[in-house]
């Protein structure tokens, strides 16, 4: 019988908290079980193995990000929506660098992540809709935005910008540069 109150969602909550505190490498069934106050075998009622748990954490991260992106861009359009999405993405990564590491690099081609990946992609597609880009150009544009945000935020989180100039100013320049690559509306 499962421990009262222990659910898959609570197991994932504990796993995410562990990742936040100690990094993705620390994510083990034993560590999560300890955090939940149960023996490791008790987790098998809620997750199949550590790979399953890692996937559930990755899905949780993607869903959190997508929800934040959707909330941030709601009611916005055009360049404002794109810039807001890029800021929201950076804010998530810098606030949760170890959690962000749980997001798979290519979620659309991994069955367990595909639904969450498509949902995130739909937000990105929606903010770019006013430009009426063809399918191929839309993919290139989304990739470009993702590289800018991921690269900048990952370097920022790793302390990769040691010079004194303001990082927000640099990031806003990148956003403007990206927007300048889009065709006029």
Averaged pLDDT for residues 106-129: 96
Q: What is the pLDDT of residues 36-49, one digit of tens each?
A: 999 999 999 999 99
Task: Assign domain 1-47 to a CATH class.
Answer: mainly alpha
CB atoms within 10 A of CB 176: 11
DSSP per-residue letters across 86-138: HHHHHHHHHH-HHHHTTS-S-GGGSHHHHHHHHHHHHHHHHHHGGG---HHHH
Query: How confident is the prediction for the chain on average, in pLDDT?
Result: 94
pLDDT cut 90: percent of the chain above it: 92
Q: How confident is the model at residue 1 (pLDDT cuts 50, 70, 90)?
A: very low
d(CA 70, CA 4): 34
The pLDDT value recorded for residue 4 is 58
Name residues whose C-beta falls within 8 Å of residue 63's C-beta, 6 or more positions apart in sequence: 116, 119
Domain positions in the chain are 1-47, 56-180
- Is pLDDT above 50 for 146? yes
Q: What is the pLDDT of residues 18-27, one digit of tens each?
A: 999 999 999 9
- Is pLDDT above 70 for 112? yes
CATH architecture, domain 56-180: Orthogonal Bundle (1.10)
The residue among 157 and 80 whose pLDDT is bigger is 80
Averaged pLDDT for residues 63-81: 97
Q: Scan for tokens 């597609």, then name that residue.
A: 125
Picking from 140, 146, 156, 135, the residue whose alpha carbon sits closest to that of residue 82 is 146
């Amino acid at each position: 019988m499962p421990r009262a109150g222990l659910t898959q969602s609570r197991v994932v909550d504990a796993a995410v908290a562990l990742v936040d505190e100690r990094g993705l490498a620390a994510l083990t069934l034993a560590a999560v079980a300890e955090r939940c106050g149960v023996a490791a075998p008790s987790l098998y009622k809620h997750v199949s193995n550590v790979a399953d748990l890692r996937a559930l954490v990755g899905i949780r991260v993607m869903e959190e990000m997508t929800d934040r992106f959707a909330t941030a861009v709601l009611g916005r359009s055009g360049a404002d929506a794109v810039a807001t999405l890029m800021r929201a993405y950076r804010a998530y990564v810098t606030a949760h660098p170890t959690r962000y590491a749980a997001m798979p690099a290519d979620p659309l081609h991994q069955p367990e992540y595909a639904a969450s990946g498509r949902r995130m992609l739909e937000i990105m597609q929606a903010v770019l809709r006013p430009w009426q880009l063809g399918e191929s150009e839309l993919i290139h544009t989304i990739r470009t935005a993702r590289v800018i945000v991921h690269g900048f935020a990952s370097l920022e989180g790793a302390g990769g910008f040691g010079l004194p100039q303001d990082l927000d100013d640099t990031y806003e320049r990148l956003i403007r540069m990206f927007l300048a690559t889009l065709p006029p509306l």
